[in-house]
Chains A and B, each alone.
Chain A
């Protein structure tokens, strides 16, 4: 009423649907920045797999997708103000502020499986190239229709 804080800005802001909504949303995304990053990077990787006609770039896109998922796991394991997951030798009662080791382990496994997948994929690409003389998806499709 009388104690309106910003009488000048109020008519301008009144046009917006919810005045307090926008800064709160920005704050929400800043505190959860890792998850937003994961989803954006994952989409870029998927875009490469869909859009790039070059098979090698599709494999790069798959790797990009994978590293985004790894970031998701690592971000869930993180604890503010903690340390890396190394535990002290003496018994420590109560909670120790170190990052959760379990997501790290699953990511280590996934990295190794990912490199295996990449190696097999690239071997297939080399084989396709020696058989058909192309690594371009569209050219490959035309060549295979002609057969």
Chain B
């Protein structure tokens, strides 16, 4: 873990805790946008610039706008306290889950280990890295997989977005059948 990664991990942890604890929804949304931005930088450090750009645009951008629109259309409960009170049963349940999940960490390969199965597998990752340009003529392997190898998945994704748009309009009674 480099100092930059350590700083980012601390930053996302602090902003996540602040998001959970702020009673005022507007404060939580703003801190969550900062969290998303920190997460986007962490993705960049972990060599995922495509994911980072999408996270910065959608996570920090569009999600924040949707959340702000929602509290503009509804109400923002008047907050007398700065922080929410701790929900003890929820905290116990979630801590138990976190402990169980953390016991699996020592069995995972180290972050960035070239021998890790995800990266070293000759039939999957190494195949795509070595054949992408010959197969598709695209240098960005992420674009190549998204648009060429897994084009149908991306089409399905577009269907999901369309369905979500339709559902949103129907729920909000904004559909016009004229």
Contact = CB atoms under 8 A, between A and B. Distances in A.
B66 A48 contact: no
B75 to A, nearest CB: 7
Interface in A102-147: 102-105, 107-109, 111-120, 122-127, 129, 135-136
B129 A91 contact: no
Report the interface size class on chain B: 35 or more
A48 B43 contact: no
Contact of B128 (A45, A59, A78, A101): A101
Contact of A39 (B46, B105, B154): B105
A31 B111 contact: yes
Interface in A6-49: 25, 28-37, 39-48
A64 to B, nearest CB: 6
B136 to A, nearest CB: 10
B51 A74 contact: yes
Contacts of A34: 46, 111
Given A42-B101, A101-B141, A52 B13 contact: no
B164 A64 contact: no
Nearest to A133: B75
Nearest to B163: A116
Contacts of A60: 19, 28-29, 32, 67
Interface residues of A, number: 86
B30 to A, nearest CB: 11
B178 interface: no
B77 A54 contact: yes
Interface of B: 1, 5-6, 9, 12-13, 16-17, 19-20, 25, 28-29, 32, 35-36, 39, 42-43, 46-51, 54-55, 58-59, 62-63, 66-67, 69-71, 73-75, 77, 84, 86-87, 90-91, 93-95, 97-98, 101-102, 104-106, 108-114, 116, 118-119, 124-126, 128-130, 132-134, 139-142, 144-146, 150, 153-154, 157, 160-161, 163-165, 167-168, 171-173
**Shortest beta-carbon contacts, A-B, top 9:** A80-B112, A51-B87, A116-B164, A101-B141, A50-B90, A99-B47, A43-B98, A39-B101, A31-B110
